[in-house]
Structure 1
Amino acid sequence: MIKVEDLSFSFPQKELYNHISFTLEEGQHCAFIGTSGSGKSTLIDILMDVERYLFEGKLEIDPDCKIGLVSQFSQVDKTKEVTVFEYIAEKFIKIQDEITAIYAEMATTSDMEALMEKHQLASDAFDAMDGDNFESTINKQLNLANLMKIKDLNVSDLSGGEFKLIQVMKEMLQRPDLMIMDEPDVFLDFENLNSLKKLINSHKGMLLVITHNRYLLNHCFNKIIHLENTELQEFDGRYIDYNFSLLQTKIELQELTVAEAEEIERNESIVDNLREIATYNSEASRGRALKARVRFTERLEARRLKAPFVDIKQPDIRLDIDHEIESRFAINVRDYSVSFDELLLENVSFKIKPRDKVALIGPNGTGKTTLLRDIFHNNKESIDIKTDAKMAYLSQFQGEMLQDSNTILDEFIEAGFKTYEEIIAYLADYGFAGEILNQKIESLSGGEKNLLQLAKVSASHANILFLDEPTSHLDTYTQIALEKAIADYKGAIIMISHDFYSVVNGMDYVLIIEDKTVKKMSMEEFKQMIYDSHFDKGYLEAEKNKKAVEMKIELALKDTNFELAKRLADELEELIKLV
C-alpha cells in the first residue's frame, strides 16, 4: 500500500497541495484526474523520488516497493538498433546473460561462496519477473495489443503510438508493485487506444494513471483520485459513477444554497427593521436583539457551502471570425501526393466549404500532420485556398507555436495585443490569472500550453482553423468547453484528433486515410466503424441518452427546479447502468 497523509507542497510561485491524503492498495487501477496545471505530474515525481522534494506531511512507501513509470515525454530512440522483442525483453536477456557469466566464472573461481550469493540474487530477480516464461508472456502481450506484426521490426522504425504501447508492455512485464503512467494515451490512434485499454485491463498489479481520455476513464478504472485547487478527494468506483455522485452532490448543494440565501435575505430584512427601530427606540433589549441578529447573519454567511470538486469553472473558449469566406469552397485539394522515405499519400482530392468542420483521421504515421501543414502553408500547386481566407494553426508540437523562454504575457504581446491590461483581461477567461502570467512557457504543463495555443488561435479571428490534436493534454472540462466553442464557430475547421468524443460531438464529417488516399465518411458511418471496433453493443446509444438527460438536469438547476432535477437524476442513474 502507498499512503499519503496531510501532504502540503508549494513552488515559489504556486501552492500545489494543501494537506492532501490518499491511499493506493493492491489490485486498484486508479485514474488520477484534475484540471491542467493542478500538480498531477509533480505528485508523480514526488512518489518516484521522495528524497528530492521538501514537503510537509507523511508519504509512506515500503522501501522494497518497486515502481515502474511510463512517462508522457518518451521518444523513440532512432539510433537504437534492436527489435521490438529485444527491446521489451531487455531486462530478461540482461539477467540471463548475467547468470550465464556467473556459471562460466564458477569454473575457474576460488571464491565460490560469493558467486553463489551473486547467482541467488540474479535468480531471485529473474523469478520475480516470471523469467522462465518471458518469451511466451511477451508474445501474449503483443498479441493482446494486436502488435505481433511489429515483433521483429526495429524499435527505430516504430510510430510514436506503437512505441508508447511497447513501453507500457515493457514496464508491465517487469511486474512492478506500482505502475505509474503519465498520459499514456496522448496521440494514440483509435486502434492503439483500444490496445492500451486491453493492456490496462489485463494488468494484475496496482496502477496509477494520469489521463483525460474519456474512453479510458469510462472503461479501465475502479478508483478515482481527483486533484483540484490544492485539494484532493478519493472515490472507490468507476469514473462514470464518480461523475454521477458529483452531480447528485451538486443538486443537493444548490438546493441548500438557495435555501440558505433565502434565510440570509430574511435575516437581513429583520436586521434592517431592528436598525430602523433602534433609531427612535433606544431600549437595551432592542440593541441586544439587533446584535444577535447581525451575528446570526454573519454565521450564515460564514458557513455558505463550498464544493471545489462539484462545479469546476470551464475556460471560456470563443472562436470568433472577422468575416466569412464568400466562395462556395474555402479549400480545394486536387491530386495531392507526398512521400518521404516511402509514399505516404497519393492522388488525394477533396473540397471543404466555408463552414465545414472536418475530422482528419487515420493510423499513426499515415501523413495526417504533413497534409495539414501543407494546406496551411498553401505551398503546393495541388492546393487552392481562397484569397479571403484567414488561417490559424494549432500544432501538436507545442514548441512550434510557443517559445519556451517567453512568459505568457510575452507570447500575447508578440501575438499583437497592445497592452498588458488587455492581455490580462483576455486570459482571465482561459483561467490564467495572477502570478502564472509571468511564468515561462517551459514551466507550464502540457494542458496549459495547449490551452494557451487555443487562446492564441481564438485571438486571431481566423475563418479557417487547422487543429492538430487540440485535445491532447487538455483536462475533460476544457475538452467539453472546446467542443462547445467548435459548435458555435462560423468558419471552417480541419482537425486531426484521435479523441472519439471530440470528433462525434463537434465535426460534420470525417476524412479518413486508407490505402494512401483520403475517403470521405459521414458521421454515422464513422460512429458505426468505431462502434463495431471498440464499443460494447448499445454503448453509443446509451451515451447519447445519458448526455441528453444531463443537459435537462443542467436546465432544471438553472431554473432552480430541484424536484425535477432529482427525478431526472433517478432516470440518469438507470441509464448509467447501461453504459
Structure 2
Amino acid sequence: MIKVENLSFSFPQKELYTNITFTLEEGQHCAFIGTSGSGKSTLIDILMDPQRYLYDGKLEIDPEYTIGYVSQFSQVDTTKEITVFEYIAEPFMKIQDEITDIYAEMATTSDMDALMEKYQLALDALEALGGDDFESKINKQLNLANLMKLKDTDVSSLSGGEFKLVQVMKEMLNRPDLMIMDEPDVFLDFENLNALKNLINSHKGMLLVVTHNRYLLNHCFNKIIHLENAEIQEFDGRYIDYNFSLLQMKMEMQEIAVAEAEEVARNEALIDNLRTIATYNSDESRGRALKARMKVQERFEASRIKAPFVDIKQPRMEFGLDHELEDTVIVQVNDYGVSFDELLLEHVDFEMKSTDKVAIIGANGTGKTTLLRDIFRNQQESITIHDDVKIGYLSQLQGETLTDSNSILDEFIEAGFSTYDDIRAYLSSYGFEGEILNQKIQSLSGGEKNMLQLAKIASSNANLLLLDEPTSHLDIYTQIALEKAIKEYKGAILMISHDFYSVVNGMDYVLIIDNKTIRKMSMRKFRQMIYKRHFDKDYLEKEQNKKEVEMKIELALKDTNFELAKVLVDELEALIKAL
C-alpha cells in the first residue's frame, strides 16, 4: 500500500495541494483526474522521487517497492537498431547474459562461494520478472495489443502510438509494484486505444493512470482520485458511478444553496429594516438587535457550502469569425499524395464547403498530420484554398504555434492584442488568471498549452479551423466546452481526432483513410463501424439515453426544479446500472 497523508506543496506562483490524503492498495487500477494545470504530473514526480521536493505531510512507500513509469512525452529513439521483441525483452536478456557470464566464470574461479551468491541473486532477479519463459509472456502481450505483426520490426520505424503501447508492455512485463502512466492515451488511434484498454484490464498489479480519455475512464478503472482546487477526493468504483455521485452531490448542494440564499435574503431584509428604524429611533435595544442580526448574517456567509469538486470552473470557449462565406467550396484537394520512407497517401480527392465540419480518421502514421499541415501552408498544386478563407491552426506539436520562451502575456501581445489588460480580461474565460499569466510557455502543462492554442484560434476570428488532435491533454470539462464551441461555430472545421466522443458529437461526416487513400463516410456508418469493433451490443443506444437524461437534469437544476431533478436522477441511476 502507498499512503499520502496531509500533503501540501506549492510553487512560488501557485499552491498545488493543501493537506491532501489518499491511499493506493494492491490490485487497484486507479484513474487520476483533474483540470489541466492542477498538479497531477507534479504529484506523480513526488511519488517517484520524494527526495527532490520540499513538501509538508507524510508519504509512506515501502523502500523495496519498484515503480514502472510511462511518460506522456515518450519518443522513439531513431538511432537505436533494435527490434520490438528485443526492446521489450531487454531486462530479461540482460539477466540471462549475466547468468551466461557467471557460468563461464565458474570454470576458472577460485572463489566459488562469492560466485554462487552472485548466481543466486541473478536467478532471484529473473524469477521476479516471471521466470525464464519471458518469450511466451511477450508474445501474449503482443497478441493482446494486436501487435504480433510488429515483433521483428525495428523500434525506430514504429509510429508514436505503436511505440507508446510497446513501452507500456515493457514496463508491465517488468512487474513493478506500482505502475504509473501519465496520459498514455495521447494521440492513440482507435485500434491502439482499444489495445491499451486490453493491456490495462489484463494487468494484475497496482496502477495509477493520469488520463482524460472518456473511453478509458468508462472501461478500465475501479478507483478514482480527483485533484481539484488544491484538494483531493477519492472514490472506490467506476468513473461512471463517480460522475453519478458528483451529480447527486451537486443537486443536494444546489438545493441547500437555494434555501441558504433565501434565508440570507430574508436576513438582509431584516437588517435593512433595522437600519432604517435606527435612523430615526436611537433606542439602544434597536442597535443591539441590528448587531445581533448582522452577526447571524456573518455566520450564514461563513457556513455557505464550498464545492471544490462540484463547482468546477469550465472555460467559456467561443469560435467567432469575421465574416461567413456563402455556401461554396473553400478547400479543394485533387490527386494529393505524400510519402517519406514509404508511400503514405496517394490519389486523395475531396472538397469542403464553408460550413462543413469534418473529421479525418486513420491509424497512427498514415499521413493525417502531414495532409493538414499541407492544407495550412497551401503550397501544393494539388490543394486549392478559397481566396477569402482565413485559417486558424492548432498543431499537436505545440511548439509550431507557441514560443516556449514567451510568457503567456507576451504570446498574446504577439498575436495582436493591444494591452496586457485586454489579454487578462480575455484569458480569464479560459481559466488563466493571476500570476500564471507571467509564466513562460515552457513551464505549462500539455493541457494548458493546448488551451492557449484554442484561445489564440478563437481570437483570430478565422472561418476555417484546422485542428490536429485538439482534445489531447485537455481535461474532460474543457473537452465538453470545446465540443459546445464546435457545435456553435458558423465556419468550417477539418479536425484530426482519435477521440470518439468529439467526432460523433461535433462532426458532420468523416474522411477515413483506407488503403493509402481517403473516402468519405457518413456519421451513421462511422458510428456503426466503431461500435461494432469496440463496444458491447446496444451500448450506443444506452449511452445516448443516458446523455439525454443528464441534459434534462441539467435543465431542471437551472430552473431550480429539484422535484423533477430527483425523479430524473432515479431514471439515470437505472441507465447507469444497465451500462
What TM-score, normalized to structure 2? 0.99
Q: Any idea what SS the aligned residue of 2:417 has?
A: coil
Q: Distance in 2 between matches of 1:289 and 1:279?
A: 14
Distance 1:457 1:159 in 2: 28
Cα distance per residue 1:384-403 (max 9 Å; x no partner):
11111111110000011111
Q: Deviations over 1:1-40 (max 9, x none)?
A: 0000000001111111111010000010000000000000
- The reply on whether 1:6 has 2:12 as its aligned counterpart is no
Distance 1:497 1:102 in 2: 52
Question: Aligned partners of 1:24 and 1:82: how far apart in 2?
Answer: 36
Identify the residue that residue 130 of structure 1 maps to in structure 2. Answer: 130
Q: Aligned pair 1:28/2:23, yes or no? A: no
SS in 1 for 2:166: helix
Partner of 1:120: 120
| 1:273 to partner: Cα distance | 2.5
> Residue 311 of structure 1: CA displacement?
2.2
* Residue 165 (str. 1) matches residue 144 (str. 2): no
| Alpha-carbon distance in structure 2 between the residues aligned to 1:278 and 1:477 | 50
Partner of 1:305: 305
* Corresponding position of 1:450: 450
Aligned mates of 1:281, 1:441 — CA distance in 2: 62
Q: Distance in 1 between matches of 2:257 and 2:326?
A: 50
Give the match's secondary structure for 1:132: coil
2:372 pairs with 1:372:
yes
Give the match's secondary structure for 1:429: helix
Q: After TM superposition, give the deviation of residue 284 of structure 1 in Å.
A: 3.8
| Kept in 2: contact 1:264–1:300 (CA 8 A) | yes
Equivalences, count: 579
Q: Which moved more, 1:321-330 or 1:565-574?
A: 321-330
> C-alpha displacement at 1:229, in angstroms?
1.1
Amino acid at match of 2:242: Y
> What is the CA deviation profile of residues 186-243 of structure 1, one whole-angstrom value per residue up to 9, with x for unaligned ones?
0000000000000000000000000000000000000000001111110000000000
> 1:409·1:423 contact (CA, 8 Å) conserved in 2?
yes
The answer for the alignment partner of 2:432 in structure 1 is 432
Give 1:46-61 correspondences, 5 Å limit: 46-61=46-61
SS in 1 for 2:409: helix
1:79 matched residue in structure 2? 79
Unaligned runs of 5+ in 1: none
Q: Equivalent residue for 2:540?
A: 540
RMSD over equivalenced CA pairs, Å: 1.0
Aligned equivalents of 1:264, 1:393: Cα separation in 2 = 49
Runs of 4+ in 1 over 6 A off after TM superposition: none
SS of the equivalent of 1:466 reads: strand
- Structure 2 match to 1:251: 251
| Worse-superposed segment, 100-109 or 90-99 | 100-109
Structure 1 partner of 2:358: 358
Q: Secondary structure at the match of 1:330?
A: strand
3-state SS in 1 of match to 2:345 = strand
Partners of 1:60 and 1:350 in 2: how far apart?
58
Q: 1:555, CA displacement in angstroms?
A: 0.7
Partner of 1:318: 318
Deviation at 1:289, TM superposition (A): 2.6
Paired residue type of 2:458: S
Residue in 2 that maps onto 1:41? 41
TM-aligned CA deviation for residue 118 of structure 1: 1.0
Task: Report the AA paired with residue 515 of structure 1.
Answer: N
Q: Does the Cα contact within 8 Å between 2:197 and 2:220 map onto a contact in 1? A: yes
CA distance in 2, matches of 1:353, 1:420: 37
CA deviation profile, 1:360-395 (whole Å, cap 9, x unmatched): 010001110111111111111111111111111100
Shift of 1:327: 5.4
Query: Residue 514 of structure 1 corresponds to which residue in structure 2?
Result: 514
Q: Give, as a single letter, the amino acid of the residue that structure 1 aligns with 2:156.
A: S
Displacement of 1:542 in angstroms is 1.1
Deviation digits for residues 418-458 of structure 1 (CA, Å, limit 9, x no counterpart) = 11111111111111111000000000000000000001111
SS of residue matched to 1:577? helix
* Cα deviation, residue 292, structure 1: 1.8
Question: How far apart, CA to CA, are the structure 2 residues paired with 1:196 and 1:213?
Answer: 12
Match of 2:214 in 1: 214
Deviation, structure 1 residue 283: 4.2
Q: Distance in 2 between matches of 1:323 and 1:22?
A: 52
1:14-413 map, 5 Å: 14-326=14-326, 328-413=328-413
- The farther-off stretch of 275-284 and 543-552 is 275-284
Q: Tell me, what secondary structure is at the counterpart of 2:132?
A: helix
Matched-pair contact (CA < 8 Å) for 1:333–1:383? yes
Contact 1:160/1:364, CA 8 A, preserved across alignment: yes
SS in structure 1 of the partner of residue 430 of structure 2: coil
Give the TM-score taking structure 1 as reference length: 0.99
Q: Which residue of 2 aligns with 1:441?
A: 441
Q: Take 2:39 and 2:568, find their aligned partners in 1: how far apart are those partners?
A: 35
Query: 1:275 Cα deviation (Å)?
Result: 3.0
Amino acid across the alignment from 1:107:
A
Q: Aligned equivalents of 1:517 and 1:144: distance in 2?
A: 28
8 Å contact kept, 2:325–2:354: yes
Q: Is the 8 A contact 1:129 1:173 kept in 2?
A: yes
AA aligned to 1:88 is I
Question: Alpha-carbon deviation of 1:498?
Answer: 0.2
Look up the SS of the partner of 1:352 in the other structure. Answer: strand
SS at match of 1:474: coil
Q: Distance in 2 between matches of 1:266 and 1:212?
A: 43
Distance between the aligned counterparts of 1:362 and 1:158, measured in 2? 15
Identical residues among aligned pairs (%): 78
AA aligned opposite 2:426: Y
The answer to whether the Cα contact below 8 Å between 1:327 and 1:386 also exists between their aligned partners in 2 is no
Residues 327, 355 of structure 2: 8 Å contact kept: no
Cα deviation, residue 260, structure 1: 0.7
Distance in 1, matches of 2:321 and 2:182, equals 36
Is the 2:7–2:57 Cα contact (8 Å) retained in structure 1? yes
Q: Distance in 2 between matches of 1:84 and 1:373?
A: 30
Deviation at 1:113, TM superposition (A): 1.4
Q: Is the 1:31–1:208 Cα contact (8 Å) retained in structure 2? A: yes
The 8 Å contact of residues 539 and 578 in structure 1, kept in 2 or not, is answered as: no
Q: Which sits farther off after the overlay, 280-289 or 412-421?
A: 280-289
Report SS of the residue matched to 1:306.
coil
How far the C-alpha of 1:274 sits from its partner, in A, is: 2.7
Distance 2:230 2:223 in 1: 20
Unaligned runs of 5+ in 2: none
Distance in 2, matches of 1:440 and 1:382, equals 39
Amino acid at match of 1:215: Y
Partner of 1:575: 575
Distance 1:376 1:270 in 2: 64
- Aligned amino acid, residue 266 of structure 2: R
* Equivalent position SS for 2:300: helix
Please state whether the residue corresponding to 2:578 is helix, strand or coil.
coil
